[in-house]
């Protein structure tokens, strides 16, 4: 089974935690794809440049200056550091943005109640190209930068990138989508790390949001997981990236059904 694994949260900001995760990822048997975010790093560098981060419903508002920052950080600093570390672990990896070989195409999000700026909504994933890489023993490492086909780069939520990649690859066989971050799963009580919800039905999503159990950046994560299940992805698991084998085996984390 192909594993599409998204890494985010505080794991990316912690050098030791990231090294732990990448070691486990490199040792993971079978075909795999890694998708990464990097929001906090981009925010920190942006602040150093006088650019204030702005979020609505867990999504970053991306003006022209912010787009420059996230492109430099996501596609450059974060992506290439991850690829270099995987290479040192014997994992043959290649870092990609959506613009590379037209891997992920997107449209700029239409302005409705909120103008998100240079934010992309995915319209297509080059699954044939990703399959060629995977079949050749190469691990794609996807940065959350897409393009519109007309020369404009777009910032796209990394959870969405992972979901769309998983959906595209589900055409070729069974796919597991794993969202790894610093918590043990989706929490019933945000103040209690032990209150992990073991299972969430796609039908539970709206209720959990209205009840305030799911909020902030967890909303797009679970929404994307639900959409992936509806589109034919075999498994979606959310859990602690430092317990990668356990969450893939279903022993830890939250499973979306």
Q: What CATH number does the domain containing 229 carry?
A: 3.40.1160.10
Reported as a single tens digit per residue, the pLDDT across 189-205 is 877 888 888 888 888 88
d(CA 8, CA 211) in angstroms, rounded, equals 25
Number of separate domains in the chain: 1
What confidence tier does 181 reach under pLDDT thresholds 50, 70, 90? confident
- Are 10 and 181 contacting, i.e. CB atoms less than 8 angstroms apart? yes
pLDDT for the residue 58: 66
pTM (predicted TM-score): 0.91
Q: Which domain holds residue 155?
A: 2-256
Reported as a single tens digit per residue, the pLDDT across 17-53 is 999 999 999 999 999 999 998 878 898 999 999 998 8
Pairing mode, strands 2-7 and 32-36: parallel
Residue with tokens 């505080």: 10
Reported as a single tens digit per residue, the pLDDT across 93-151 is 999 999 999 999 999 999 888 889 999 999 999 999 999 999 999 999 999 999 999 99
Q: What backbone phi and psi angles, to 5 degrees, belong to 139?
A: -100, 115
């Amino acid at each position: 089974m192909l594993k599409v694994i998204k890494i985010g949260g505080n794991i990316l900001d912690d050098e030791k935690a990231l090294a732990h995760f990448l070691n486990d990822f490199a040792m993971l048997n079978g075909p795999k794809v890694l998708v990464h975010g990097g929001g906090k790093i981009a925010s920190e560098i942006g602040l150093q440049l006088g650019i204030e981060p702005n979020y609505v419903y867990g999504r970053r508002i991306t003006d022209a200056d912010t787009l420059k920052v996230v492109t430099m950080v996501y596609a450059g600093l974060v992506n290439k550091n991850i690829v270099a570390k995987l290479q040192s672990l014997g994992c043959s990896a290649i870092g990609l943005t959506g613009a590379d070989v037209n891997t992920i195409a997107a449209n700029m999000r239409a302005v409705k109640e909120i103008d998100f700026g240079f934010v992309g909504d995915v319209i297509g994933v080059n699954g044939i190209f990703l399959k060629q890489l995977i079949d050749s023993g190469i691990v794609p490492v996807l940065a959350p930068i897409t393009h519109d086909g007309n020369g404009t780069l777009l910032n796209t939520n990394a959870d969405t990138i992972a979901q769309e990649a998983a959906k595209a690859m589900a055409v070729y066989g069974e796919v597991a989508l794993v969202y790894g971050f610093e918590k043990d799963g989706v929490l019933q009580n945000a103040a209690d790390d032990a209150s992990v919800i073991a299972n969430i039905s796609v039908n539970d999503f709206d209720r959990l949001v209205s009840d305030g159990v799911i909020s902030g950046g967890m909303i797009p994560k679970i929404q994307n997981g639900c959409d992936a299940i509806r589109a034919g992805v075999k498994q979606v698991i959310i859990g602690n990236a430092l317990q990668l084998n356990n969450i893939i085996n279903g022993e830890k984390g939250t499973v979306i059904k």
